[in-house]
Structure 1
Amino acid sequence: MRFSVSDYFSAPMPQFTYRARNAQGGLVEGVLDCADRAIAIRQIESQHCIPIRLDMIEAAKPAEAKASKPHALQRKLRLLSSPEAATPSQSLKIPHGQLLIFTEQLAHLLQAGMTLDEGLSVLGKRLKHPRVEQMTHTL
């Protein structure tokens, strides 16, 4: 079997369609050529926008990403269902208003097709409340 470098570099880059909100709250839509979903999210964020929806244009979804996600999700669910996770510490108390904003924005990101990891990462960077940042890191 021969491997050609030109074959590797000539492979088409996956494309993602996106919808995002800019700093003024306006809707921004577009198409990005990125190696993966995480890079697409970073590109949208680098434009000072908050991703609302991000979909890969059906061409070639990486099979290994699909295969590894259930195992990671099961591990996280086990961690979240542990007794330590059931009783938050005093240091993680978050004001009701901040918690409401956090859950609404996380719901929008998940409905847009982001994974839980991606949504938590985006919110951890965007919401500047220290306890919210700590909570997203803990999750």
Structure 2
Amino acid sequence: MAHFKYIGRSKKGERVEGVVEATDRAGAVRQIEAMGQIPVSITETTKTVNQDSGSKKRFNFELGFQRKSKMKMQELLLFSREMSDLVASGMTIGRALHTLSARKDESAVGRIVETLRDEIIQGTSLSDALELYPETFSTLYVNLVRAGEASGNLPTSLEHICVHYERVQEARGKVMAALSYPMIVMFVGGLAVIGLMVFIVPKF
């Protein structure tokens, strides 16, 4: 009997994975389907079910630290723009993420991109992978990507995301500029008052 590691989908469309024991690949497929799951990929492995479970726990433990990574607004905008351009040029999502991961260092952005790439390789959709980082990818971001996946027009959805975040960035810049002016006026006014109190008033 051989062991087969599989990645599949439940009846609800959720991603599932595990290890089954069977005489051959066809037998493994029958077992998976008997559990009400749809196999996406099956590979023979030397790991048993218990060994794979332990490995998965270690992976989840490590992933927990990775999920603490967060992109800044400017980094998110750059990532979105690069993804939009690469996918629009005809690259697959996996290839685009692989290209970006090769450019990034060990920063938060690099760790996030690598995790997204690995999830895509394992059969996870981009929208589901993005949900691993809720502090970086908002519900709106994820839903726009999911809509693009469902309609088969992901490049357009990514472009809409870029436009949205460019507007957000521009609005933030205007707000900061509007707030900084009165603060500068108050600071200069404060210095003037201090100057009067220190240098002018004592003379009287």
Same fold (TM over 0.5): no
- Could you say which TM-score interval applies, normalised by the shorter chain? 0.3 to 0.5
Higher relative contact order (CA 8 A, sep 6+): 1
- For the pair shown, the structure with the greater C-alpha radius of gyration is 2
